[in-house]
Chains A and B, each alone.
Chain A
Amino acid sequence: MSTSSIEATSIPQPQRPWRQAKRAWRQAIVMLVVSVVGATLLMQVTGLAGVIGSYVAFALVFPVVAFLASMKYGKKAGQDKMASAIICLAFGTAFMPWMSILFTVFNRGREAFYSGFLTTDMLVNSSDQPLNMGGLSHAIVGTLILIFIASMVAIPLGIITAIYIVEVKGRFASYARFFTQAMSGVPSIVAGLFIYTTIVVVVFNRFNALAGGLALAILMLPTVARTAEEVLKLVPDDLRAASYAMGASQFSTVFRIVLPTVRSGLVTASILGVARVAGETAPLLLTSQYFVQLTTNILDGPMASLPTYIFANLGAGSDTSVARAWGGSAVLMSIVFILFVTARLLGGRNTKSRH
């Protein structure tokens, strides 16, 4: 019994009948060529033109060609191929505008950048001056302050709500769960109006950044609460049972066992909440408004923020101010991206953002 006799016989290769045969590839290329020719003809007839027009023509012709090409295997096969073609094309089409947004933001935003763009404010410069004067330091600082205020309110409250729903399981747990979900659909401008009527008008009688932060907190709360709830549910009940069996109270079980277990998940929940509100504009228009100077007084007077900076510069209308708005968009987009990637890296795979 030697192994050599086994090696001598040829080892059968696994059959892979589902693999695309060479013929299938050839057919795909033929289909593509036919579709391009068909699309060109269609463009002649209908007057579709330009890059987008040719794409539309192609998207109209290709599924039909796919259908006809598979008709020799029967109608069902034809429908199947046509559905695949439509689904893949629709997917590609849906992603195009987003790619356009990201590309445009960073491409147009580049113009506004110079060495002092991130470090100067607009106190001594007007927005239609050349792009090498003034910047958006005031807006960045303002956004950070607003986010800080919102986080101080929304993160504890959101996590407490989640603890109430998952750990305490009190009488109102199902209501709390339902209404935090429904709350995520509150229009941002309504949150702004609410804070305006209460904090701005009644308490301070002037626009201020604290009001802006609180308005953002309302919008941030549901995201934090929902995501934290999902995270807490991931904690295995064995851990809680073990803790109780050791004689621990619920208080120490939650704070010494449950919360430390999901620390990174809670951080993710918080970051997702921040990413949700970092770009909110409408509530800030009614609460913290816009100001050209870097200010840090949160109780008195308006404060700039990146979204309102973009909004104000877009409204100013001159070429340079619109360029500044694009520059602001690039900075805002980068901040949201960084937050998002951080949340992904910290949270791992099993933390899902909830809406």
Chain B
Amino acid sequence: MESTDLKQREIVIRRGLADRIFRRAMATGAILSLSLLALIASFLLFRGFEVFRDFGFSFITSAKWDSGSADGVTPASFGIAAMLVGSVVTAIIAITVALPFAICVALFLEYYAPSFIRKPLTAVLDLVAAIPSVIYGIWGYTILNNLAAGWAKSLNSWFDWIWFFKVPAPIFTRSPFIAGLLLALMILPITTSVAREVYSQAPRDQIDAAYGLGGTKWGAIRSVVMPFGRSGLVGGAMLGLGRALGETVAVYLVLNLVFKINLQILASAGGNVASLIATRFSEATPYELKGLMAAGLVLFLVTLAVNATATLIVNRARNTA
């Protein structure tokens, strides 16, 4: 019995009509939601194109935002440099404050908390992540603003030899510092949850090996857990950064919108692109509205770039674990 012509049968998938329609329908839906991003970008570009054409590169580099007078004596002039710098400054303050806390909270929940309070605390953390931004805003406006103005005053009196802690006038409310603190609070849950996820995947055997060598808990965390979670942590921080860059209402309520590039974080002047749009929208002239669309496009592209990078990093950290 010799069968020399044994060949593997070719696998052919013949899908029925129902399946073909089903797969086509699902693909259409998915591509529809996929194309939303492209749609957003193209419509904002379409509406804001005129402003990009009129102002060119100075739209990014100029700090002057003036809708012009109705009779046309003072021409309109649009530039978002001050707002872009403001966005970046507040977001950097936010992530600088939030990151150490995120690391500590994540380590506490994963390695220090007694097991019986871990679950409820995680649930509370998920819950505060869902606090709407307008509630952060009203709290920041009434409570944090006055509280943090006092802290800003102390910072200023101790550290005014550092240039960015100087102020032109002793007014400490509604500053980028306060907006940054509020944003830090808002992005803490998301950064913490990413940090917690990567820390929880640290290899148990290596931690036990660290203990076995006579190491302390902190020793195990510093030599095993933290290096393992570093890249995921960077991703989590960038996710937080993206959120902080695009926040509107909370920043609108606690920050004094001034069209001047301001790096003195304790001074009562600043802004961000999102709150510029919210502030100017209701009374904008048609031409200014196009400027706002252009500003929206810039904001969209910046946050999308930050978020896409963060997503890549976080996904890689998730998969290698």
Q: Which residues from chain A sit less than 8 Å from chain B, CB to CB?
A: 47, 52, 76-77, 79-80, 83-84, 86-88, 90-91, 93-95, 97-98, 100-101, 104-105, 156-158, 160-161, 163-165, 167-168, 170, 172-173, 175-176, 178-191, 193-194, 197-198, 218, 221, 225, 249-252, 254, 275-276, 278-282, 285-286, 307, 310-311, 314, 322, 325-326, 329, 332-333, 336-337, 340, 344, 353, 355
Contacts and interface: CB of A to CB of B under 8 A. Distances in A.
11 contacts: A91-B108, A94-B104, A100-B139, A101-B128, A168-B27, A186-B40, A187-B303, A193-B44, A250-B22, A275-B130, A337-B127
B34 to A, nearest CB: 5
A282 B278 contact: yes
Contacts, number: 261
Interface stretch (B3-11, B56-64, B216-224): B216-224
A168 B27 CA distance: 8
B127 A197 contact: no
A84 B293 contact: no
B248 A189 contact: yes
A187 B248 contact: yes
B26 A194 contact: no
Interface of B: 15-16, 18-19, 21-23, 25-27, 29-34, 36-37, 39-40, 43-44, 46-47, 100-101, 104-105, 107-109, 112, 123-124, 126-139, 141-144, 147, 154, 185, 188, 190, 193-194, 215-219, 221, 239, 242-243, 245-249, 253, 274, 277-278, 281-282, 292-293, 296, 299-300, 303-304, 306-308, 310-312, 315
Contacts of A90: 100-101, 104-105, 108
A322 B139 CA distance: 11
A143 to B, nearest CB: 11
A250 B19 contact: yes
Q: Give the 7 A-B CB pairs with smallest separation, nearest first.
A: A279-B132, A187-B246, A185-B307, A90-B104, A160-B29, A164-B30, A80-B216
A218 B100 contact: no
A94 B248 contact: no
Contact of A80 (B16, B47, B107, B217): B217
Interface centre among A88, A157, A355 (most CB of B within 10 A): A355
Nearest to A314: B138
A95 to B, nearest CB: 8
Given A161-B33, A189-B274, A310 B134 contact: yes
A187 B126 contact: no
A305 B245 CA distance: 25
Given A254-B22, A325-B138, A311 B239 contact: no
Contact of B26 (A83, A163, A189, A307): A163
Given A87-B112, A249-B18, A353-B126, A182 B308 contact: yes
Contact of B216 (A79, A185, A186, A191): A79
Contacts of A329: 134-135, 138
A165 B31 CA distance: 11
Contact of A251 (B19, B132, B243, B278): B19
Contacts of A76: 215-216, 219
A76 B215 CA distance: 8
B127 A83 contact: no
A182 B128 contact: no
Contact of A187 (B47, B134, B221, B274): B274
